[in-house]
Amino acid sequence: MNAHEIEYQIHGKEMQYVEIELDPQEGVVAESGSFMMMHDGISMETIFGDGSNQDEGILGKLFSAGKRLLTGESLFMTVFSNSGIGKKKVSFAAPYPGQIFPIDLSEMGGKFICQKDSFLCAAKGVSVGIEFSKRLGRGLFGGEGFIMQKLEGDGLAFVHAGGNMSKKVLESGEILKVDTGCVVGFTKDVDYDIELVGGIKNTVFGGEGLFFATLKGPGTVYVQSLPFSRLAGRILALAPKTGNKTRGEGSILGGIGNLLDGDNRI
């Protein structure tokens, strides 16, 4: 085993967090901003990239960090290691409502491809890199561009999906069509492409976007019911556009509410 063997427990329902138990000298690598809490005796170290090639010298470290820049992530990640005596625990929280689920890379053929902001943490030794699309359509219209994130190794990684997560096991030749933003990740054998929504009425009035993802088996696909882009879009659509009005922008009821609150600006 190249990656550290870790034990874990996932807590919560809508807003989950994962609690990871580390033996002495074991470690876990995590994205910045996902840390929640830890026992005394666990040390933190900020590193270039994911820490999977720290023995390859400065060029290896810079290459690992440079790959992360292409996915829009920070140059640095944080390693949490048990430097004390006995078992210690460290926890990482989901960034928005949804589900955290484990990916055992040893059961996935050593590789899992996911959207760039779904990765939460992984056992130290797991490589967090980039996956380039070889198809122009997928790169231009796939929502995640030419680049997705890939997790490689033989350890555990933890991925976050918005809303509820659905796991679909596709047989050879079986095709699943998904909204581009709802794709969380898939195994390396899945053929992933972007397809234009047919029909003029669907394109102009459908309200579901111009493209959807087609995923062809064999392999396993993970789909989320509430991608963050959709959640953010709904929040922005309901936010007041100007001033400090808080309800009923431009409506009669909104004006009455402002008067009742002592705000005479209708």
Q: What is the CATH number of the domain that holds 182?
A: 3.60.160.10
Q: Indicate whether 250 belongs to any domain.
A: no
The span from the CA of 200 to the CA of 205, in Å, is: 8
What 3-state DSSP class applies to 161?
strand
Laid out side by side, the sheet with 175-179 consists of: 175-179, 211-216, 191-196
β-pairing, 219-224 vs 7-11, is: unpaired
Q: Indicate whether 126 belongs to any domain.
A: yes
What is the pLDDT averaged over residues 158-180?
93
The span from the CA of 3 to the CA of 152, in Å, is: 10
Cα angle vertex 118, ends 218, 178, to 5°? 45
Q: Indicate whether 256 belongs to any domain.
A: no
pLDDT digits (tens, 9 = 90+) for 40-87: 999 999 887 666 655 555 555 555 555 556 555 666 789 999 998 899
First to last CA, the chain: 67
Cα separations (Å) of 34 from 18, 30, 103, 115?
10, 7, 17, 17
What is the pLDDT averaged over residues 151-163?
93
Q: Indicate whether 108 belongs to any domain.
A: yes
For residue 17, give the nearest of 4, 34, 1 by alpha carbon: 34
What number of other Cβ atoms are within 10 A of residue 178's Cβ? 19
pTM, full prediction: 0.77
User: Would you give the distance in Å from CA 208 to the centre of its chain?
Assistant: 22
Instruction: Assess contact for 130 and 192: CB atoms under 8 A.
Output: no
Residue 243 has pLDDT above 60, yes or no: no
Q: Which pLDDT score is estimated for 11?
A: 96
Q: Which pLDDT score is estimated for 265?
A: 46
For residues 168 and 62, which has the higher predicted lDDT (pLDDT)?
Answer: 168
Left if phi > 0, otherwise alpha if psi is -120 to 50, otherwise beta: which for 16? beta
Of the candidate ranges 58-67, 206-215, 245-254, the one whose mean pLDDT is the lowest: 245-254
Task: Please provide residue 21's backbone torsions phi and psi, each rounded to the nearest 5 degrees.
Answer: -100, 125
What number of other Cβ atoms are within 10 A of residue 64's Cβ? 23
Mean confidence (pLDDT) of the chain: 78
What is the pLDDT averaged over residues 151-178?
94
Tokens 């459908």 locate to 206
Query: Which range marks the domain in which residue 109 is found?
Result: 7-239
Q: Indicate whether 263 belongs to any domain.
A: no
- Report how many domains make up the chain: 1
Q: Which pLDDT score is estimated for 207?
A: 47
Task: Please provide residue 173's backbone torsions phi and psi, each rounded to the nearest 5 degrees.
Answer: 85, -10
Q: Indicate whether 119 belongs to any domain.
A: yes
Instruction: Assess contact for 118 and 42: CB atoms under 8 A.
Output: no
Q: Which pLDDT score is estimated for 44?
A: 94
pLDDT digits (tens, 9 = 90+) for 179-203: 888 999 999 999 988 877 654 444 4
Q: Indicate whether 88 belongs to any domain.
A: yes
Q: Indicate whether 21 belongs to any domain.
A: yes
Residues making up the chain, counted from first to last: 266
Kindly give the residue spans of alpha helices, DSSP state H, lying in 183-246.
200-205, 228-238
